[in-house]
Amino acid sequence: MAYRKFQSYEPSYPLLGKDAIILGSQDPSHWGIVEPLPSYGRGIELPGRRYRSLVNGYMLRDVVITGDNGTIDGQGSVWWEWFTSHSLNYTRPHLVEFVSSEYVLVSNISLLNAPAYNIHPVYCSNVHIHNISVYAPPESPYTVGIVPAVLQENLLNHSFNIPVSDSSDNICIEDCNISMGHDAIAFKSGWDELISCLGSEMSGGISDILVEEVHLYDSLTGIEFRTTTGRGGYIKEIMISDVDLLNVNTSFAAIGDYGSHPDDKFDPDAFPVLEKITLQNIIGTNITIAGNFKGLKNLPLLLYVYQISPYQSILLLCRLGNVHMFPGFLSPYSQNHAPNL
């Protein structure tokens, strides 16, 4: 993994003052309707088009959304109710979305109650997201903090820090406090059409990601890799280190049969690849399940476990299905990134 130092422009004055609040309307007629992203070919929740995000940009350069901890509040409760009752006409909107843009800065603001995602950079380069607070109630359905889309060659560092290249390039997320109903940060790379926790939308592939100095607490799952038959693609070369887990039900999970497809036109022989994933320097307190690993019948997960003490007690806390485990084996990748769980 070759990582680059990230630099971004920081203005000398706040643009969203301390007591300033931008409210999203609870009237769906106030939200425009746009076409689905080409890497999905449909809305995430419903076929066809989707509601436009509250703050959005297309093919922009040098964009700054910052302030003195001002607030963007999506007032998402009505959207959550419509989602739960299956009353939506289109896929829910996000709070902030940039498509095919570069040099985007989002900092020093609070994002509350997004209808779905909070920040969604898609096919973007040089995006810096730092020092923000993101919140939605734990019961809010499928609300997600930050969703970088269509990724390869990533870095996640010091709370969250990500450079990305190929379709998305040089994205940095750091020093953020995120509490959501679903995922805090989710990497995604398309849903069957052209090309993602990591997955489960990963038909194009997710690779070269470094996660370090992360604090996770009061969560159902800490870090999860999700995919299923027919997705193809890959999740590989992932380094996760220096993670503190507190009051987490399942520390780590890798699920090979997660979720479904938008239609029945997927390739049943397109098996996903999960490989070269390293965990190191992980500390957990009040953990129920250390790991939940479930491979596919035709493609079992291969786990190389080493430098764990005591080894037997760790295994007793794991759930395994279609998994081949090899204690004490060092792969060429792990020899360069030796974990110490």
| 328 pLDDT higher than 70 | no
Whether 196 and 333 share a structural domain: yes
Mean pLDDT of the chain: 75
For position 75, which CATH number holds?
2.160.20.10
In a domain, 23, yes or no: yes
CA gap 38, 149 in Å, rounded = 11
CA-closest candidate to residue 176, choices 272, 92, 106, 260: 106
Name residue 120's beta-bridge partners: 97
CA gap 79, 26 in Å, rounded = 8
Whether 273 and 124 share a structural domain: no
| 300 pLDDT higher than 50 | yes
CA gap 36, 42 in Å, rounded = 5
In a domain, 165, yes or no: no
Whether 21 and 113 share a structural domain: yes
Question: Which of 144, 173, 202 is at the close of a domain?
Answer: 144
Whether 134 and 222 share a structural domain: no
Whether 133 and 215 share a structural domain: no
Whether 42 and 124 share a structural domain: yes
Whether 192 and 127 share a structural domain: no
In a domain, 152, yes or no: no
In a domain, 98, yes or no: yes
Question: pLDDT-derived band of residue 14, with 50, 70 and 90 as boundaries?
Answer: low
| 263 pLDDT higher than 90 | no
Token look-up 């507190």 returns 246
| 106 pLDDT higher than 90 | yes
Which pLDDT value is given to residue 88?
94
- The verdict on whether omega for the bond into residue 310 sits within 30 degrees of 0, i.e. cis, is yes
In a domain, 176, yes or no: no
CA-closest candidate to residue 297, choices 272, 322, 318, 316: 322
| 166 pLDDT higher than 50 | no
Q: Which residue has the higher pLDDT, 84 or 43?
A: 84
| 331 pLDDT higher than 60 | no
Total number of domains constituting the chain: 2
Q: Which residue has the higher pLDDT, 179 or 161?
A: 179
pLDDT digits (tens, 9 = 90+) for 191-235: 433 333 554 444 556 777 778 888 988 988 888 887 766 555 677
Whether 227 and 131 share a structural domain: no
In a domain, 175, yes or no: no
Which pLDDT value is given to residue 138?
93
Torsion of Cα atoms, 311 then 313 then 316 then 318, to 10° = -60
Q: Which residue has the higher pLDDT, 283 or 197?
A: 283
Q: Residue range 79-95: average pLDDT?
A: 96
- Percent of the chain residues past pLDDT 70, beyond the cut: 63
Which pLDDT value is given to residue 205?
67
Question: Which of 88, 119, 144 is at the close of a domain?
Answer: 144
Domain that holds residue 63: 15-144
Whether 245 and 297 share a structural domain: yes
| 139 pLDDT higher than 90 | yes
CA gap 117, 54 in Å, rounded = 11
Whether 206 and 340 share a structural domain: yes
- Percent of the chain residues past pLDDT 90, beyond the cut: 33
In a domain, 69, yes or no: yes
Whether 123 and 202 share a structural domain: no
In a domain, 180, yes or no: no
Which pLDDT value is given to residue 202?
47
pTM of the model: 0.76
| 304 pLDDT higher than 60 | no
CA-closest candidate to residue 131, choices 96, 176, 172: 176
pLDDT digits (tens, 9 = 90+) for 47-66: 899 999 999 999 999 999 99
Which pLDDT value is given to residue 193?
36
Q: Residue range 154-175: average pLDDT?
A: 53
Whether 286 and 137 share a structural domain: no
Question: Which of 81, 111, 144 is at the close of a domain?
Answer: 144
Which pLDDT value is given to residue 275?
73
| 301 pLDDT higher than 50 | yes
